[in-house]
Amino acid sequence: MDVDVLLPLADAAKRLGVTTQYLRNLDRAGKLRASRTQGGHRRIPLSEVHRLMGEQELRLPLLYARVSSPSQKDDLERQKERLQRAFPGAELHTDIRSGLQFDRPGFLAVLKAVQERRVSRVVVAYEDRLARFGVDLLRQVFAAYGTTLEVLDPRPKETPESELANDLLAIITSFSARLYGLRSPKTQRLLAEARKVVKGPRTSSGPTARSWTPRTSSGRPSSVMRDAPATPTIGASSGRRRLTGSTNSPVLR
């Protein structure tokens, strides 16, 4: 009988589709029967491998980290280190894409693993790393497959202004493209003005109420709402759709 065959740790991990670190963790927790060679290397009985294969719930945590741009790679490394400290040896997926996009390769790999019921929980450092919007819906989807979402730090992440600005522009692009078409002059003018607002002058501590000043068509500062930027709203006048804010807001004609 082959049940007494002792397998090297790597072979046992390969048969089970898990990492060697995961098996080490099981051994330390007393959940795996293993022996040691004279050199101190673990050997796993084949019967233990068969036992684990037969268990209905051999599910592993899955780690996910994300940043929006290559310039944030240092932050990505910090997320990875934190996740791997909490769950050594767990599978990790990463993306360098906007959290507004749901076609991220790493994110799709996470969804696939959840759908295959291979995951006990999806772990992220911050909630918005999984997605900018729709996290509550994702929790429900995960729950349908017996998976939970674990957030190491429940506090909102201090997201760089550049990332938030890019997300805002992506939202404006999506909606204006549906209204006017992506290449429409109206869309291009709207995006140009939005970029001026979200990427305009900033103080050392970030945007303030005086960071942006409405100006007249002659370029002089307007006397209206000089202490705060106008909040753009969509209005209609004379049958035309326009962007209104302060008295000097650009009109889309």
More confident residue, 221 or 33: 33
- Within 10 angstroms of residue 9's Cβ, the number of other Cβ atoms is 18
Is the pLDDT at 99 greater than 60? The verdict is yes
Which of 227, 220, 206, 210 minimizes the C-alpha distance to 248?
Answer: 220
Encoding tokens for residue 68?
Answer: 């929006």
More confident residue, 214 or 63: 63
Average pLDDT over residues 129-148: 91
More confident residue, 19 or 127: 127
Residue-range domains of the chain with CATH? 6-54 (1.10.1660.10), 60-151 (3.40.50.1390), 160-197+229-253 (no CATH)
pTM reported for the whole predicted model:
0.52
pLDDT digits over 216-242, tens only?
Answer: 444 444 433 333 344 444 444 444 444
Active site residues: 68
Place of tokens 């995951």: 119
Buried b (16+ CB within 10 A) or exposed e, 196-232: ebbeeeeeeeebeeeebbbeeeeeeeeeebeeebbeb
pLDDT recorded at residue 92: 96
Please list, in sequence order, all residues whose beta carbon lies within 8 angstroms of the beta carbon of residue 251, skipping any fewer than 6 positions away.
Answer: 242, 243, 244
pLDDT band per the 50, 70, 90 thresholds, residue 243: very low
